[in-house]
Amino acid sequence: MAKLNIVLLEPEIPANTGNIGRTCVATDTKLHLIEPLGFSLSEKALKRAGMDYWKDLDVTTYLDYEDFLEKNPNAKIYYATTKALKTYTDVQYEEDCYIMFGKESAGIPEEILMEHKENCVRIPMINEIRSLNLSNSVAIVLYEALRQNHFDHMQLQGQLHNHTWE
């Protein structure tokens, strides 16, 4: 069964993290938060964005990037960045991989990117745009990874309330 992982390196905006948390709950994806965080995990904005789903979230926090690496020594990590040479559709996401996103104001530090340049991916955009919203970026890349893993264990068909599909 595919069990993907989203990693947020020093996220700053609680609403983004709340939205990402809700997406993780909806996809049975684990969320990893690397400190320092730009907010408290008890903030109302975070819980409002995650709605009542936050209590169902599988989330782990880490003191820093090194702590994350030490506690996940075998992690296959993809680094989502606007600076990558490859697009997010150019790689094959393993069913238990980690997809890391940097903080809203600066992204992932270039030193980390250079150490892992073969695993850096980007979402194509026109030149005039600096970046997409973090929660939108997570959803785009996560759903591509889920698609590549055939949406394993996910509900593929919806249901109408007052009618039936025929």
Dihedral sign for Cα 151, 134, 37, 20, please. negative
13 is in an annotated binding site: no
Identify whether 124 is preceded by a cis peptide bond (ω within 30 of 0): no
123 is in an annotated binding site: yes
102 is in an annotated binding site: yes
Binding site: residue ranges? 102, 123, 131
Binding site for S-adenosyl-L-methionine: residue ranges? 102, 123, 131
